[in-house]
Amino acid sequence: LRPCRCGAGDVKLTLGSVEHFIRVSRQPLRSDKGEATGYLWTLRDITQQRLAEQMRDQFIDAATHELRTPLSNIKAYAETLAAMKTPDLESQKEFCNTINTEATRLARFVDDLLSISSMEAGSLSINRQNVDLQRLFAEVVGKVRPLAESKSLQFDADLSPKLPELKLDKDKIIAAVVNLLGNAVKYTPSGGRVGLKVAAPADVLQIDV
- Residue 124 has a pLDDT of 61
- The per-residue pLDDT for range 29-85, each reduced to its tens digit, is 888 888 888 888 898 888 888 887 877 777 777 777 777 778 888 888 888 888 887
pLDDT higher than 50, residue 4: no
Average of per-residue pLDDT across 88-103: 84
How does 160-180 read in b/e, with b if 16+ C-beta sit within 10 Å? Answer: beebeebebebebbbbebbeb
pLDDT higher than 80, residue 6: no
